[in-house]
Structure 1
Amino acid sequence: MPRKVFGRRVTPRGIISGLFAVGCVSAVAIFPSSCQTGGIGDPCVPEEEYRGNFSGFQVSQENIESRSFQCESRICLVNHFQGRVTCPLGQPNPADVGRLCASMDASCTGDGEKCTVSDTFGNECDDTHPCPAGFECDPNGFCRCDDASPCPTNYFCDNDRDGATNQCVLAVCHNENNCQVADGTPEANAGKVCCLPGTRTPVGTGVCGECAEEGFRNAENSVYCSCRCGVAEGQPEDENFNFCECPDGFECAEVRPNLGLGDEQLTGKYCVKTGDPIIKDGKIDPAAAAPQCGGVQGQTGGECEGTPIAGGS
């Protein structure tokens, strides 16, 4: 008899992470915000968005996160989405609009802005894992920089002030009250910047605005909890994998063909929203994604797909 898992009605084949779900329920009373899970189709924030130097996803690509603690299935699917889920309008590259800091005490011109660390570049080190050339292994186990260290482009060595981290950092001028939010209206998010999910830490790179809802390439329709429902086309059935069956409103379609690269158990078919226009003959057609981007009410240009609409840039 069917039973309800992942927040929707599916058959018992759909249970991929029952142990995780049980553990999550028991932990809610202690850690209410750390173990919120979602059913198939529920929204999720990909792990990459917690990196300050992540410029966002490209609509021509898919991403399958297989260890998402936001999803009971552990699968957060990014099905040809553009930008960051948590920054609907995107932002120009801080380096292009005068927001990049060359030191932590650099002057900022924006109202209430100060140099704020977006990302830290630093390797761990020990006797068996030495630092790259130009860095020294700190007793605390990280690679310590100095003024001559080859920090990445737009990063600098934070070593000339009280409280310095002695690591290469990416810092931008930022007002901590000026962050976009995922569920904000275009009007409410206008003029604000991208920040790491749930924080006031700014993103230090350019981000494309998300695509229009009409083509299913906006966050709501292309980034959500999913589950693996079959092997890739042409591959033998895997009797040892606990595939799911898709609930109402979803269909089983090939998202990632098996090209012999990466984890084979991430290839194959996943539950995707019924009506997605880039599903062709039971498969996701990557070439069809960009034309479906439509109007973008946010950052465009460069590698961004879509056309600017009112309020775009």
Structure 2
Amino acid sequence: MALSLFAVGSVSLAALLPSACETGGIGDPCIPEEEYFGSFSGFQVSQENIESRSFQCETRICLVNHFQGRVSCPLGQPNPADVGRLCTSMGDACDSDKEACTVSDTFGNNCDDATPCPDGFECDVNGFCRCTDDSPCPTNYFCDNDREGATNQCVLAVCHDEENCQDANATPEQNAGKVCCLPGTFTPVGTGVCGECAEKGFRNAKNSVYCSCRCGVAEGQPEDDNFNFCECPDGFECAEVRPNLGLGDEQLTGKYCVKKDDPIISNGKIDPAAAATECGSVQGQTGTGCEGNPI
């Protein structure tokens, strides 16, 4: 992923007004919604993300302020396809007796008379697109249709030991050798994930992913008297996180409460170009697409 100007669900003014002015909970940790998908490879330090409907935050805003990886998987992991963990059917044998092919993600569309399935899929009586051996499943997915209890959908599956999941609250030593799983579950992540950046540059999860609130419009934009902006509490600064480039929801652009000591704040704005230089040493997965220096 390159520059992130997406948000999880657009938000209406009415949806934000009841909670936008609240400052309680700003700075509390949150797990972005994307991390509940097994095919999500994590955030890049060059991007920001503003989740506007987070039930983990009193303000409903979970801010990802130039963070690398997954909050729920501090060390990241290599791509299962590169280390022999990828399954091509649910009956594949795994290297360890403790491992079994486990579904990480399902690819499927809902269908009905008005919404037909893509070519190569059939509309099941239960309202989903049913695959066959000839269906064009995404790369590394296969049609789960050859076993009892098959889902008849394209799935991404990997060899997995459910006791081998990383814990966001564990030490690097405790997480060493373990893999990424969906938050609060034993479901494995089916793609490569970068390790998170060092604490020193504020690009680790604690300092760059937290509950926030919108405190002002983007630079150059007229004031919005109808929006209930918040006041930032002690320890936070109102800084522009997302300029208004005419893309996406305008009410997600502008200034947010960010941690005051964050080194990528420059002249009241977040400087995306400075984020990569602050990644520092990475305890975990590095390599192509990852910033930071391996330890």
- 1:253 aligns to 2:263 (yes or no): no
1:45 counterpart residue number:
31
* Residues 18, 262 of structure 1: alpha-carbon distance in 2 compared, 3 angstrom cutoff: closer
Q: Which runs of 5+ in 1 are unaligned?
A: 1-14, 22-37
AA partner of residue 57 (structure 1)? F
Does residue 172 of the first structure (1) align with residue 158 of the second (2)? yes
Deviation >2 Å, runs of 4+ = 15-19
Q: Does the 8 A contact of 1:17 with 1:72 survive in 2?
A: no
CA offset at residue 110 of structure 1?
2.4
Aligned-residue offset at 1:202: 0.1
| Cα distance in 2 between the residues matched to 1:218 and 1:294 | 10
* Residue 129 in structure 1 maps to residue 115 in structure 2: yes
How many percent identity over aligned positions?
Answer: 83
One-letter identity of the residue aligned with 1:185: T
Corresponding residue for residue 262 of structure 1:
248
**Number of the residue aligned with 1:207:** 193
Partner amino acid for 2:224?
A: D
Q: 1:139 aligns with which of 125, 139, 161?
A: 125
Letter in 1 for 2:193: V
Q: Which moved more, 1:216-225 or 1:111-120?
A: 111-120
Aligned pairs, number: 278
| 1:61 equivalenced with 2:54 (yes/no) | no
Q: Which residue does 2:144 correspond to in 1? A: 158
* Cα pair distance change 1:183/1:64, threshold 3 Å: same
Which amino acid is the alignment partner of residue 188 of structure 2? P
* CA separation of 1:126 and 1:78: change in aligned 2, threshold 3 A: same
CA distance in 1, matches of 2:151, 2:18: 39
- Segments of structure 2 that go 5 or more residues without pairing to the other structure are 1-15
Q: Residue 84 of structure 2 corresponds to which residue in structure 1? A: 98
**What letter corresponds to residue 138 of structure 2 in structure 1?**
P
Q: 1:196 aligns with which of 169, 176, 182?
A: 182
8 Å contact kept, 1:99–1:173: yes
Aligned residue in 2 for 1:284: 270
| TM-score, with structure 1 as normaliser | 0.87
Contact 2:17 2:227 in 1 (8 A): no
Rounded Cα–Cα distance in structure 2 between residues aligned with 1:82 and 1:17: 31
What residue in structure 2 maps to residue 12 of structure 1? Answer: none
Q: TM-score normalised to the size of structure 2?
A: 0.93
Q: CA deviation at 1:18?
A: 4.7
1:229 equivalenced with 2:215 (yes/no) = yes
Distance 2:95 2:266 in 1: 50
- Mark the CA change 1:196 to 1:45 in structure 2 (over 3 Å): closer, same or farther: same
Per-residue deviation, residues 252-296 of structure 1 (Å, max 9, x unmatched): 000000000000000000000011000000000000000000000
CA distance in 1, matches of 2:83, 2:97: 15
Is the 8 Å Cα contact of residues 16 and 244 (structure 1) preserved in structure 2?
no
| Rounded Cα–Cα distance in structure 2 between residues aligned with 1:283 and 1:110 | 50
Q: Secondary structure at the match of 1:214?
A: coil
Relative distance call for 1:293 and 1:18 in structure 2 (3 A) is closer
Partner amino acid, structure 1, of 2:27 = G
Residue 72, structure 1, aligned to residue 58, structure 2: yes
Give SS of 1:213's match.
coil
Say if 1:155 and 1:168, in contact at 8 Å, map to a contact too: yes
* Cα distance in 1 between the residues matched to 2:291 and 2:19: 39
Contact persistence 2:19–2:60 (CA under 8 A): no
1:87 and 2:73 correspond: yes
Match of 1:302 in 2: 288
8 Å CA contact 1:300–1:308 kept in 2: the answer is yes
Instruction: Provide, for residues 116-138 of structure 1, a one-character-per-residue CA deviation record: whole Å limited to 9, x for no partner.
Output: 00000000000000000000000
